Amino acid sequence: MDQFFNLNYMVSSLPILLSYLDVTLFVTAVSFPIGLAIGAVTALARIHKTPVLSQISSVYISFIRGTPFLVQLFLICFGLPQVLRAFGASDIRSVPGIVFVLLMMSLHEGAYLSEVVRGALSAVEKGQLEACRAMNLTKKRTYLGIIFPQAFRFAVPVLGNTLISCLKNTSLIFNAGVVDMMSKADLMGAYSYHHLELYLDVGLIYIALCAIVQIGVIIVNRSFRYA
């Protein structure tokens, strides 16, 4: 029984894997807000049909949504440095791999968040924009002060789901050489041959993280409901 499953090893390994949780949280905490900003810009470009930017946004979103996450990871983390070296960036190898991971994660989330933002903005009554124009408000004040706060209420549940997806996607960044929980579990499993226990640990950690996000979404939704 011990050869098949070692509960003691699973319990003792959990703190070790949790010590790498900061990498997962850091990547999520950086890439999600940047992705949200990218999503907002591309969504506005498509809504207002901004020349050139609207077309670029459509191609970008189609590419991200139409290709596997792992392909995007390899393209940015291994393909982009090769392109940069070809253009004379000889010191590109000194750039930490996590920088490319953050870039890729931000672009990936931005494409999906663009559709979330676009849908939320479409849910806001068009009369709001007309009223703002009648009051001679600038577009910046209109969107930041009136439209985006209302759209955020509509978007909260979907934003929560996208954040959960972002969290789970971090389990693949070890393929780019970033040492995180999955990477550590893989290394420990190679020495101990207790892969099952280690991957169960990682799974439980991700379940806990996703549950926390879901609870946060529920709290925010309730606060809006009673506001």
* Structure confidence by residue, pLDDT tens digits, 181-207: 999 999 999 888 889 999 999 999 999
Alpha carbons 23 and 35: distance in angstroms, whole number: 18
CB burial readout 158-180, b (16+ within 10 A) else e:
bbbebbbebbebbbbbbebebeb
Q: What is the pTM of this model?
A: 0.89
The CATH code for residues 24-155 is 1.10.3720.10
Question: Which candidate, 186, 174, 137, 215, places its Cα nearest to that of 24?
Answer: 174
Q: What is the pLDDT of residues 76-90, one digit of tens each?
A: 999 998 888 888 777
User: 58 falls in which pLDDT band (50, 70, 90)?
Assistant: very high
pLDDT of residue 227: 57
Kindly state the helix (H) or strand (E) to which residue 118 belongs, with its residue range. Answer: helix 97-123
Asked if 170 contacts 180 with a C-beta cutoff of 8 angstroms, the reply is yes
Q: What is the pLDDT of residues 115-127, one digit of tens each?
A: 999 988 888 777 7
Asked if 109 contacts 37 with a C-beta cutoff of 8 angstroms, the reply is no
Domain boundaries, the chain: 1-20+179-227, 24-155
Radius of gyration of the chain (CA): 21
